[in-house]
Amino acid sequence: MTMDALLQAWPWLPTLSDGQLNLPLLGNVVAAGLMAVLALLMWMAQRSEALTPMSRPLAHTLGASRWRSWWTLALQLPAPPLAPTRPAPAPTSARALSVELRLQHPGLDIRAQFRVAPGRVCALVGREPSTQSALLQAIAGMTPARGGRITLGQDTLYDSAARINQPAHLRHLAWLDAHAHLFAHLSVRGNLRYALPRGPVSDDAPDFNEIVSWLELSTLLPRRPAQLTATQRMRVGLGRALLSRPQALLLDNPLGEVPHHEHDELLDLLAEIPRRWRLPMVLVSPRMSEVVRLADDVLVLHEGRTASAGPVAQVLSDVSLATFLEGTDAGSVLEAVVRRHDLSWLLSEVDVGGQRITVPAMLHPVGSKVRLKLRARDLSLHKKPPADTSSLNHLNGRITQVMLAGEHGTYGAIGIELDQALGLQGNVDQGAPTVWALLTRKAIQQMDWAPGKACVVSFKAMATTVTAWH
């Protein structure tokens, strides 16, 4: 191509007064452009290095291409830890999540092993919530593990022996924490649609309209995250998590920024997920009320090791674990069935092993399952039903264990197995329900309480905390 043809094709090229191409100026322009690109790349690299280890995999999941991930890292957009552009998981039946992990946490070596079946919720609890959160992040692939194995059904997500380590955006695990991580520049509709994966999905996977209707988001679709309340942001975050069609759901203190008086609204939604979509769920929460409300099983971590594991009613009724659950009153969790409502006195009656317990009036219908939380310090023991007392509840039982409790053995903890009616039908508890009472050592000696002795457990209706049970 001649110079005249070149200038005719690109007339914007710089020329001299005699019509010749101004090569020095063109070279300077090209050099300046290259330097600008280099400076931009260096700036993005610095921004990337400023991110926390947890933020890097979150940002990487936002884009299908390397460049899109670069921009996400550079701009530090509020990234959801879901992979909305990832291929959708192949249609399969519900799968169990199995975890056996070792990881390093500041000043602590964590080891944990548990399995969550489809449609069940496992809560990770302990004195230090950061320990449970670190374990949850390692399961999600956000922080590195030192060894172990994670499987989801037949798929291996992590196996140190086989050198398998799927990145976070390919594990098909949805993450939801207190921040929701919504895109500030997108509407609610845009945030939800961003989570939709490509490719085929199973027939029972939630679709856009179903999620919008279930979470009551239709009026919020045009809004930006800044126009939402904390509760509304959490509902949008939950919807986006489910629209990614995950195979399991990881919840890290999801109600941490939601006003306390609005917790019940979100707890009802979270409780419905396991049975509606048969997803295994892992919950980390510092509030025992949420654990009692949502969990089927509990794993108690103490100094990085498993102190106890099992059904929630069994584990949380073990008074010996109170020292591992800072801020939690020792007590018992009983599974019950609502039997009657007494509107004249604003009271309700529930059935525990064939014995009736009176509690403050509740909205749960007759026949529904609930859980009762009884603080051990609120129970008193008698050798026969007391007369002239304000306590409405008197349960028959037999002492199974007497042990010292408290930091220096300052008081005693007594385990009582409650009597059950013979031939009881529809009891939600497979074994005999057990409660714990805390008494002074003097009271135990004066009453001569010992294993095998019959007793009557008394407590006020107002001493019970009732939560629905999914």
pLDDT at 42: 72
The SS3 assignment for 313 reads helix
- The answer to whether residues 144 and 252 belong to one domain is yes
If residue 290 lies in a helix (H) or strand (E), which one and from where to where?
helix 288-294
- The answer to whether residues 414 and 442 belong to one domain is yes
Tell me if 242 is assigned to some domain. Answer: yes
pLDDT at 443: 92
| Domain end call among 267, 300, 324 | 324
Tell me if 92 is assigned to some domain. Answer: no
| Burial annotation 364-387 (CB, 10 A radius, 16+ → b, else e) | beeeeebbbbbbbebbbbeeeeee
Structural domains in the chain (count):
3
- The answer to whether residues 258 and 200 belong to one domain is yes
- The answer to whether residues 242 and 131 belong to one domain is yes
DSSP string for residues in 159-184: ETTTTEE--GGGS-EEEEETTTT--T
Tell me if 81 is assigned to some domain. Answer: no
- The answer to whether residues 231 and 265 belong to one domain is yes
Return d(Cα 212, Cα 406) in angstroms, integer.
Answer: 50
| Domain end call among 291, 324, 357 | 324
- The answer to whether residues 336 and 312 belong to one domain is no
Residue 301: beta bridge partners?
126, 306
What pLDDT, in 10s, does the model give residues 403-448? 877 666 677 888 899 988 644 444 444 567 888 898 888 999 999 9
pLDDT at 302: 86
What pLDDT, in 10s, does the model give residues 66-93? 334 444 444 444 444 443 444 444 444 5
Tell me if 444 is assigned to some domain. Answer: yes
294 CB contacts (<8 Å, ≥6 apart)? Answer: 121, 123, 267, 270, 271, 281, 283, 470
If residue 233 lies in a helix (H) or strand (E), which one and from where to where?
helix 230-243
Domain enclosing residue 276, as ranges: 97-324
| Domain end call among 296, 324, 352 | 324
The amino acid occupying position 128 is: E
Q: pTM for this structure?
A: 0.71
Phi, psi of 168 (to 5 degrees): -55, -40
Phi, psi of 342 (to 5 degrees): -110, 90
The SS3 assignment for 221 reads coil
Tell me if 398 is assigned to some domain. Answer: yes
pLDDT at 234: 94
- The answer to whether residues 56 and 134 belong to one domain is no
- CATH code of 356's domain: 2.40.50.100
Question: How many CA atoms lie less than 13 Å away from 258 in the CB half-sphere?
Answer: 22
Return d(Cα 69, Cα 87) in angstroms, integer.
Answer: 16
pLDDT at 200: 53
Query: Which of 425, 423, 399, 424 shows the shortest CA–CA distance to 413?
Result: 399
Contact 147, 102 (CB under 8 A): yes
Give the chain's residues under pLDDT 50. 48-92, 327, 422-429
- The answer to whether residues 61 and 202 belong to one domain is no
The SS3 assignment for 334 reads strand
- The answer to whether residues 302 and 441 belong to one domain is no
DSSP string for residues in 22-86: -HHHHHHHHHHHHHHHHHHHHHHHHHHHHS-TTHHHHHHTT-SSHHHHHHHHHHT----SS-TTS
The SS3 assignment for 381 reads strand
- The answer to whether residues 271 and 372 belong to one domain is no
pLDDT at 429: 42
- The answer to whether residues 291 and 399 belong to one domain is no
- CATH code of 105's domain: 3.40.50.300
Tell me if 87 is assigned to some domain. Answer: no
- The answer to whether residues 260 and 370 belong to one domain is no
Q: CB 353: neighbour CB atoms within 10 A? A: 22
Contact 56, 81 (CB under 8 A): no
Tell me if 86 is assigned to some domain. Answer: no
Query: Which of 312, 258, 255, 252 shows the shortest CA–CA distance to 283?
Result: 252
Tell me if 426 is assigned to some domain. Answer: yes
